[in-house]
Structure 1
Amino acid sequence: MTSTTSRIEQRVLLAGLTKTDLTMLLVVLIWGANFSIVKAALTEIPPLAFATLRFAGASVLLLAFTFWREGRRALPPDRATFWKLTWIGFIGNTVYQALFTYSLTLTTAANGSLIIATTPAWVALTAAVLGIERVRRTMAMGIALAIGGVMLVVAERGLSLGGSGLLGDLLMLGAALCWMMYTLGVRTLGQGLSPLAITAWTMVTGVPGMALISIPDWERVAWDSVSFNAWFGLLYATLLALVLAYVLWNNSVRVAGSARTAIYSCAIPLVATLLAWPLIGEQPTWVQGIGGLLIISGVLLTRRS
């Protein structure tokens, strides 16, 4: 067994891939499949109830893991930091997850993954407008390409605002803007907490608000008729897409740096689009392909600047 493992590792190294590369590829695969798996589960479990169960479970597990790994260093250093984490958690988890999950009941997994992938471009644009970062030529080009790609993907729905698909795209765009605010909010926290602790605490503080807004959903869930596939989707979205993927991603950022991991994150919409075909029968379109190419190119340019 040891010799077999050693031979596999040698082949991986000869291919130019490290263990960190393989870890990031695994996370990309988990997150890419998550769009289709969640979308399928939402046909049986209402979106807000699904999001509440998912984040309640993940927040407990992730916070427990964070304390096991960091001890008292995982605690917010003061009350002001805790309240800031609460507001960031409300925007980045309560509102974001409500928009993200409900959006997937209306739009395709491919469109959802492409639109949410524009978040770095919105972060760069907002940071430039607020004077946090200086706008460079490559950044401006990247923002323009990413936004143009989103407009192309959304325009495929047609100009009728009454269409549920278009509404789903717009809700996912709102989710991307929420994650932009979350990202900028995290930057104001300073160096007192690790990225893992910030993720855990913002999950925990986001759960109460999510539980409140999901109350109407609980009244229309027929739990005895929920299939194994839907329960599997909930467990996958909780244990793999949140807990395991976040832990692996944070470790990869610590080892390889944010610039290198950012490149891998651009592959998520591609993986999501390709997996949506065999998993839930969503055949990709040429417009999605062109829009996706614009979005990924724009995000890469934005992150290089």
Structure 2
Amino acid sequence: MIPVALAALLWGLGGALAGRFMREIPPEVLIPLRFLLSFLLLLPLVLLRPPPREEGPRLLRVGLALSGAQAFYYLAIHATTVATGIFLQYLAPALLTLHALLKGERLPARALVGVALALWGAYVLVVGPQGLEGSAVGVAFGLLSALSFALYAAFSHGLKTPPLVALGVGTLLSLPVLLLHLDQVLAFSPGQWGGVLYLVTLGTVVPFGLFLLGVRTLPARTATLVAMLEPLSGALFAWPLAGEPLRPEALLGGLMILLGVALNRR
């Protein structure tokens, strides 16, 4: 559980810093560039530890789910708001819980209450009194990001191969889009390149590596729930880094997320 919590902290820190250097980069440039640079950074690992042939089909599913989670998330926040996109993506624990119940699994009542509390807390913390904003298309992108994130966690559970090699799938799928916008990439300022490099290292490779380390033994439903610490850490980091005040209802939402995670510890 600790690796997943650390991943959520890094995602939250990246979210708090993102507003400073990522507003000028459109999603059709940011998404494929993030995949490409992340994969190139991990290419030595792929060459040293090539995935076994029997795990190839599963890695393909992991890669497709990871690509969808990242792409749909950025499309959602581009078409709606960051708050709406984050909240919708973290419907993933609810989707996995619903799937478990439909399969006939008997979950304890405290676990179900914990999921409900965490989702309610995320809504209070991230969305607030203004409610969900954005177009129907943006909300659809957000729901697809939640489904992709849930599938990504489920497919990665127990995987022996380092699942981050699945970033290659996203790279191959998005490379034609990146080539179409290569002129924009070449025109990046030093500040924009710094933001991209931060997002690739401490916003992608390190936190996703920690998440996947945790989800090898932690059930996908619990892992995605613990990852909901991201909006809480983002709000806490945004206070000193971006000068955003901590609203009383945000603190209440954060406590509800912590309680929901605690109820699902085992």
TM-score tier by shorter-chain length is 0.7 to 0.9
Aligned to 2:253: 291
Aligned to 1:76: 52
Are the equivalent residues in 2 in contact too, given 1:86–1:206 (CA < 8 A)? no
* Within-5 A mapping of 1:74-223: 74-78=50-54, 81-93=55-67, 95-105=68-78, 106-108=80-82, 116-117=89-90, 119-131=92-104, 133-152=105-124, 153-154=126-127, 156-158=129-131, 163-164=133-134, 171-187=141-157, 193-194=160-161, 197-200=162-165, 202-212=166-176, 218=181, 221=184, 223=186
1:44 counterpart (12, 21, 24)? 24
Taking structure 1 as the reference length, what is the TM-score of the superposition? 0.67
Deviates more, 1:54-63 or 1:295-304: 295-304
Letter in 1 for 2:171: V
1:30 equivalenced with 2:4 (yes/no): no
In 2, Cα distance between equivalents of 1:292 and 1:174: 25
Are the equivalent residues in 2 in contact too, given 1:28–1:268 (CA < 8 A)? yes
Q: Match of 2:53, SS?
A: coil
Identity of matched residues, %: 29
1:244 equivalenced with 2:209 (yes/no): no
Note the aligned Cα RMSD (angstroms): 3.8
Greater Cα radius of gyration, structure 1 or 2: 1
Taking structure 2 as the reference length, what is the TM-score of the superposition? 0.76
Aligned to 2:237: 275
Deviations 1:141-170 (A, max 9, x none): 1222233334545463347xxx43997677
Change (3 A) 1:170 1:284: farther
Per the TM alignment, residue 42 of structure 1 is displaced from its structure 2 partner at its CA by: 2.9
Letter in 1 for 2:147: L
In 2, Cα distance between equivalents of 1:182 and 1:253: 10
In 2, Cα distance between equivalents of 1:258 and 1:284: 31
In 1, Cα distance between equivalents of 2:122 and 2:14: 21
Letter in 1 for 2:201: L
Per the TM alignment, residue 61 of structure 1 is displaced from its structure 2 partner at its CA by: 2.1
Letter in 1 for 2:24: E
In 2, Cα distance between equivalents of 1:121 and 1:96: 16
Change (3 A) 1:231 1:283: farther
Aligned residues: 261
Runs of 5+ in structure 2 lacking a partner? Answer: none
1:64 equivalenced with 2:37 (yes/no): no
In 2, Cα distance between equivalents of 1:290 and 1:170: 28
Per the TM alignment, residue 64 of structure 1 is displaced from its structure 2 partner at its CA by: 1.9
Per the TM alignment, residue 238 of structure 1 is displaced from its structure 2 partner at its CA by: 0.7
Deviations 1:230-279 (A, max 9, x none): 2111000112222234445666788xx749x9697554332211222343
